[in-house]
Structure 1
Amino acid sequence: MPMGRHKQPEIRDRILDACVDHALAHGLPGRLEPFATASGTSTRMLIYHFGTRDALLRETLKRARQRQREWFGELLSARPGQPYPDTLRRAWQVMTGPAGRPFLTMFGKLREEAGQQLWPDFRRSATTDWLRPLEDGLRGIGRPELATLVLAVIRGLIMDLEATGEVSRADRAFADFLATLTTAGR
C-alpha cells in the first residue's frame, strides 16, 4: 500500500493565519491567488489543505471571528476599579479605531450579504456573542438587563459609521449614550 503525504496541521494553521491577515487587510478575495501569495504557497496547496475555495473562505471567516471575539470580548470585560461606562468608552474607541476597523469592515460586509452562503447563521451569532460580556459588565452598575440596549446602540452606531464615515458624529452619539447609561446606574 503506497504511503501518501500526511497533512501537517501546523502548516495548515500557518496558512490560515496568513489568509486571515490578508482578508482583514484587503477583504475576502474572489479567487485563491491572493491567499496563495499571502501565505507563501500555491493554490494547489490551499485546495490540498482546505478542500475548496468556499471551505477556505469559511475557515478564514471563522478564524477572524475567533480573533475578534477574544479581543473585543477582552475590551468589553469589566475591569476592577473602573466604572463600566469608562470600559465601554475605551472599547468603543479601540473597536472603531484603526486596529478594530478591519474586523468591522469584514463582518459588516458579511452581515449585509443577502445569501450569507459562507456563514448562514452569522447574523444571529454576531448578535448573541456580545450579550454575555455586556451583561457581566453592566452587572457592575446593577443593570445587566441593559445589555441588549447597549448592543443595539453599538451595532447601530457602527452601521452608521460604516455608511457615513462620520467618526466624530458617531463618537459624540456614543458619548451621549454613555452619559445616559451612567445616569441609569445611579
Structure 2
Amino acid sequence: MGRRPQPHIKDRLLDACADYALAHGLPDRLEPLATATGTSARMLIYHFGTRDALLRAVLGHARQRQLNTFGDLLRVRPDEPYTATLDRAWTSITGSDGRPYLQMFGQLRESAAQQLWPDFRRTATTDWLGPLEDGLRSIGRPELATLVLAVIRGLLMDLDATADTTRTDRAFRDFLDFLAAVEHLPSGDSSAAHRSQAPDGSSTTSTDTASGT
C-alpha cells in the first residue's frame, strides 16, 4: 500500500509555498516552490495532485491570510472614529505589509494566471463589502460601503500604475474628510452638493467644502 498524505506535512508545505509566492510572485513552474519548501516537485505533486491544484491552493491560502489581516484592519474599534480606522488600514494595505498581497493578486488580472481562479475579480470585490458595511454602520452609513470600496480599489489601481504614493495618499485623506462630513447627514443626503433655501423661498445649491475640492 502507498503512503497516505499527511495533513500536517501538507499544511507546512502550503505555508512555505505561500510565503515564497508572496515574496517573489506566483511561479509558473514547481521548482522554485520545491526549493523554497526544501522538498521536490515530485513530493509537491504527491501532496497536491497537480501543478495547477497546488497553485490554486497557494492562492487560496494567501487569500485567507489577506482576509484575516485586512479584515482585522477594517474592524471597528471603540476608541477611534471609523475614518481614523480607514486611514490606518489604507496605510497598512499600501505599505510593506499589504503590498505583497496586492502584487500577488494583481497577477490574476493576467490571462494565464486568471485561469487558476476565474471568478476571482468578483470574489475580490464582494469579500470586502461585509467588513466595510459593518464598519460604516458604526457611523450610521453602511450603504456607503460600495462607494468606499470603489474609492479604495480605484486608488490602488492608480498607485499600481503610477507609484505616486504622495498623490494617492492625499486623495484618500481628502475622501476621508468628505466621509467625516457626511457622517451625520441623513441617508440619501451624502452628496457633496446639498440644497439650501434662498431668502426668497427658492431652492439654491451650495457646495460642501469638506469634499476637499
**Structure 2 unaligned residues grouped into runs of 5+:** 185-213
Aligned length: 183
Would you tell me which structure has more strand in proportion to its own residues?
Answer: 2
Larger RCO (alpha carbons 8 Å, 6+ apart): 1
Deviation by residue 1:116-173 (Cα, 9 ceiling, x = unmatched): 2100110111000000110011011110000000000000001111111111111000
1:114 and 1:82 map into 2 onto residues whose CA distance is: 42
1:42 and 1:126 map into 2 onto residues whose CA distance is: 32
Match of 1:69 in 2: 67
Deviation by residue 1:83-108 (Cα, 9 ceiling, x = unmatched): 00000000000010011100011112
The structural deviation recorded for 1:114 is 3.1
Alignment of 1:10-159 (within 5 A): 10-110=8-108, 112-114=109-111, 116-159=114-157
1:108 and 1:156 map into 2 onto residues whose CA distance is: 13
The structural deviation recorded for 1:33 is 0.5
Normalising by structure 2, we get a TM-score of: 0.84
Give the % identical residues. Answer: 70
CA RMSD of superposed structures (Å): 0.8
Aligned to 2:8, what secondary structure does the other structure show? helix
Match of 1:181 in 2: 179
Match of 2:7 in 1: 9
Structure (1 or 2) with the larger CA radius of gyration: 2
Normalising by structure 1, we get a TM-score of: 0.96
Moved over 3 A (4+): none
Deviation by residue 1:20-50 (Cα, 9 ceiling, x = unmatched): 0000000011110000000110000011011
Would you tell me which structure has more helix in proportion to its own residues?
Answer: 1
The range that moved more, 172-181 or 3-12, is: 3-12
